[in-house]
Structure 1
Amino acid sequence: MKVLAVSVGTVRPLPWRGRALLSGIRKAPVDGPVDVTPLGLAGDEQGDRKHHGGPGRAVLLYPAEHYAAWAPLLGPLVWPAFGENLTTTGLLESDVVLGSVYTVGTVVLQTTQPRRPCHRLAAHHRVDDLAVHMQRTGRTGFYGRVLGAGHVEAGDRIALVQRPRHGITAAEAHRVLNVDRDDLPAARYLLDHADVLPDSWAALLRRRLDGHLDDQIARLHGNSPDTAKESR
């Protein structure tokens, strides 16, 4: 397991359906070591701090293994095509147990949650339903919390330090939360280990068990009043 590229980006307007979304998804690789703190990589920014960034989503990792699978839809891609901070190899969503601790360069990182695809991906690649494709395929990438600050650079090794016993992977959490939303037994199992989930996700699953299914349209397609406000 290792890092192939380390990338950061600043917030810039992203055209979307006649308006502009503020986003830091357009990142570029950095040569040499990059400082990493509990709030993320030096020089990296997020346009929507409600849904991106913060201590629980300080670093976004994306497996390079997925790039070939995207080629038929998106054509040839170069890192970091999906707004990731770390493009990696050897570590897939199905391998990553939430709450696991890794060393990445001199950084100590704890995996926290799979990425929930949103319409900024579609705007970035100019493919209207790209977030839907990413959600259906599970090629989402995943976030990490910084337990120990340090630096990381391309070529650094990723080493597993600790893996929780609950066995809930980023792939499984994504499946239950976003895809198989009627799998209530799996939702209950996730809630039995709610300490590994963001509070908002645990609340969403509890509402689901009470019979209230959440709406994914605004996140995936960006056609809601809240989205319009984000661009102002």
Structure 2
Amino acid sequence: MNQRKIIHLATGMPEQMAYSPDKEMRTGICKKQVDETFLAKEGFQGDGVANLKYHGGPDRAVCVYPYEHYKKWNEEFDTELPMSAFGENLVVAGMLEKEVCIGDIYQVGDAVIQVTQGRNPCDTITKRTGVKGILKRMIETSYTGYLCRVLKEGTITQGAEVKLIEAHPNQVSVWFTLDLYFHRSKDVEGMKRALEVAELAEDWKHKFQTRIEKALSVAQR
């Protein structure tokens, strides 16, 4: 496994973003690199989201994306995406979705974070990058990144090492939950396994529980 470290640290408040000659939207996806910032329970200092229904909150305080995927997308779409193109705070090396598990605890600089859920991306990514088809491919591969809660506030600096403090014993990977969410909506046993992880974000617990109840209801008809 490659050394876990921050390749790019970025924050940004919501702002107007033009995505076609006559269209624009207010969004927090346009993050800019910073050398150092403070991470509080609700998120990074100087960082914010425009749509509180789908972004932000304690379970989604930190957005992480694996550095390794940038090479894949650049080659596949013949482009050169900037770091934090998808609005993530941390572009990290050595922390792929298949390697990181829900409930894992990491020290990042002086702060401590815990993985809570995979990211469910929206079409703002297409509008931000201008790359048609990339959102579809991110969902097909479940290479969407993930979100974390803050267990301990602290300062984080560009290039900091990310240390695994505690691996969750259930070993339910971020990729496993994303694959369930996007591609296996009727996999009752898989969703039950995910729900056994108490640290899973409440929103995802609700979604999986609803799907299980629906699947069981259909099976009993």
TM norm structure 2: 0.88
Measured in 2, the distance between the counterparts of 1:5 and 1:21 equals: 25
CA distance in 1, matches of 2:212, 2:167: 28
CA–CA distance in structure 2, aligned partners of residues 35 and 185 of structure 1: 40
- The match for 2:117 is 113
Partner in structure 1 of residue 47 of structure 2:
44
Name 1:92's counterpart in structure 2: 96
Which of 166-175 and 178-187 deviates more? 178-187
Aligned residues: 210
Match of residue 134 from structure 1: 138
CA distance in 1, matches of 2:114, 2:78: 31
1:111-190 matches, within 5 Å, as 111-190=115-194
Q: How far, CA to CA, are the matches of 1:200 and 1:151 in structure 2?
A: 28
Structure 1 CA distance for aligned equivalents of residues 184 and 174 of structure 2:
14
Moved over 4 A (4+): 15-19
What stretches of structure 2 of length at least 5 have no aligned partner?
A: 216-221
Q: For each residue in 1:81-127, what CA deviation from the matched residue of structure 2 results, as whole angstroms up to 9, or x when unmatched?
A: 11110111111111111111110011111111111111111111124
Aligned in 2, Cα 1:98/1:125: closer, same or farther, shift over 3 Å?
A: same
Identify the match of residue 75 of structure 1 among 76, 79, 104: 79
Is residue 175 of structure 2 the alignment partner of residue 206 of structure 1?
A: no
- Name the CA distance, whole Å, in 1 between partners of 2:19 and 2:188: 35
- Alpha-carbon offset, residue 16 of structure 1: 5.8
The secondary structure found in structure 2 opposite 1:140 is coil
d(CA) in 2 for partners of 1:176, 1:74:
29
d(CA) in 1 for partners of 2:109, 2:145: 19
Tell me which amino acid in the other structure corresponds to 2:125: L
Which one-letter code corresponds to 2:159 in the other structure? G
The aligned counterpart of 1:197 is: 200
What is the TM-score normalised by the length of structure 1?
A: 0.84
Partners of 1:145 and 1:192 in 2: CA distance: 18
Helix, strand or coil for the counterpart of 1:109? strand
SS of the residue 1:22 aligns to: strand
Deviation at 1:145, TM superposition (A): 0.9
* Cα shift at 1:132: 2.0
Counterparts of 1:73 and 1:126, CA distance in 2: 11
CA deviations on 1:117-169 (whole Å, 9 max, x unpaired) are: 11111111124543222111111111111111111111211111111111111
Aligned-residue RMSD, C-alpha: 1.8
Give the gaps of 5 or more residues in structure 1.
Answer: 213-232
Residues 1:63 and 2:66 are matched in the alignment:
yes
Counterpart Cα distance in 2 of 1:87 and 1:138? 16
